[in-house]
A = this chain, B = another copy of it.
Amino acid sequence: MNQGKSKVIVQKYGGTSVGTVERIKHVAHRIATYKEKAEGIVVVVSAMGKETDRLLALSRETNASPDPREQDMLLASGEQVSSALLAMALAERGIKARSYLSFQLPIITNNRHTAALIKEINVERLLRSFQQGEVAVVAGFQGITAEGEITTLGRGGSDTTAVALAAALNADFCEIYTDVDGVYTCDPQVYKKARKLSKISYESMMELAGLGAKVLHNRCVELARKYNVKILVRSSFNYEEGTWVCGEDEEMEGELISGVTFSRGETKISVMGVPDKPGIASRIFIPLADMGINVDMIIQNIGRQNAADVTFTVPDDDLDRALQAVKKVAEEVGAEGVHYDQNIAKVSIVGGGMRSNPGVASRMFQALAAAGINIMMISTSEIKISCVIDARYTELAVRVLHDAFGLHKS
């Protein structure tokens, strides 16, 4: 995909990649190697290393619940620093460069401070920079409202800036530089046979991100899918090719499963002996939804005499609040009791190929059974199967599934 001269490319460097002046110089060096390959380069940068954390700490110290407008004003300074420094580092290498803040383009967002959505991008000044042979360095993570207020985009914000700019510029592709060198079939720290994928579809990437893979934030992948922006995830610390995140195409047909992933941050709550009447489930889940608690997997076993056991998972952070609400409902509807179990893990396989391969689920269950791992809950989507198991078997399950689907082989 990256052959010959490209028209426009967008690169995004995360906080670790620009964490020190030395690393910023290294990034400038890397950009230099691209200068001949593209007619226009836009570089989006995050704040240096732990700068955003430092600013957040100052904010917390100053005011326990700061005005989101002022918080955005504060945080936006981080990318302003790194983008100016990168422009200086490029100039030092003899590469013309110019940094831009959101208000200077502008990148217009709505006015939802700390989690703003991009509405419109004007790329005229970027095109002018290209004409003048300048690399355009854009401060990531931030925008400006129509009224001239500084906003920030929330988590994954700089990735979102990069993909949105790539879409607005109709860029050939968008490189996201991070501290890992691509998307793996499973966590290499859990199983050394983990293999870096050369490609993954937007859909599979989103499932993986939703399941806790921290390579890309879902929001930027969604945006990339919407505007068909090809993303290349790679490390700024080496020159490995990385992983392409792009639309499914013929070449990918053969790929059954992209990866195995797991998460441990959830708790299983069971409401036992719920009278089996219509509307009971909503009595349990509406209060949780109202509290903003994200209920993940739900199963209902109808067993003894018109009574059901309802089991579901919630994030550990929300456990106390969830239990309180659930116990109240359980009492009101005359359920027998509420149990919970924190020693669980969710193991998932993800892949676009399972759509046309009906045997995937059974192969997963067999593999776990053969390893003596009991499945407590199951949930499936078109391109994902998740099983809740005893947390003790997490790593074993990942290895067993990785082998069962032959993921070490390309």
Contacts and interface: CB of A to CB of B under 8 A. Distances in A.
A216 interface: no
**Range for the number of chain A residues in contact with chain B:** 35 or more
A91 interface: yes
A21 interface: yes
A171 to B, nearest CB: 24
Copies in the complex: 2
A253 interface: no
A61 B21 contact: yes
Given A25-B62, A58-B21, A83 B89 contact: no
A247 B31 CA distance: 57
Interface stretch (A6-14, A71-79, A278-286, A344-352): A71-79
A70 B55 contact: no
Given A70-B99, A71-B84, A99-B70, A89 B63 contact: yes
A89 B77 contact: no
A88 interface: yes
Report whether over half of chain A's contact residues are helix, strand or loop; otherwise say mixed: helix
B92 A63 contact: yes
Nearest to A22: B61
A87 B70 contact: yes
A66 interface: yes
Interface in A42-83: 55, 58-59, 61-64, 66-67, 69-71, 73-74, 76-78, 80-81, 83
Contacts of A76: 80
Nearest to A66: B88
A62 B148 contact: no
A334 to B, nearest CB: 47
Nearest to A99: B73
B73 A58 contact: no
Contacts of A69: 98
Nearest to A81: B77
A67 B91 contact: yes
B148 A104 contact: yes
A149 B101 CA distance: 10
A191 interface: no
A77 B74 contact: no
A61 B20 CA distance: 10
B77 A63 contact: no
A332 to B, nearest CB: 41
A150 B58 CA distance: 25
20 contacts: A21-B61, A21-B62, A59-B85, A59-B88, A62-B85, A62-B89, A63-B91, A64-B92, A67-B87, A69-B98, A70-B87, A70-B91, A71-B88, A73-B99, A73-B101, A77-B77, A101-B150, A103-B148, A104-B148, A104-B149
Given A66-B88, A70-B84, 5 more contacts: A55-B81, A62-B92, A63-B92, A77-B77, A103-B103
Interface of A: 21, 24-25, 55, 58-59, 61-64, 66-67, 69-71, 73-74, 76-78, 80-81, 83-85, 87-89, 91-92, 98-99, 101, 103-104, 148-150
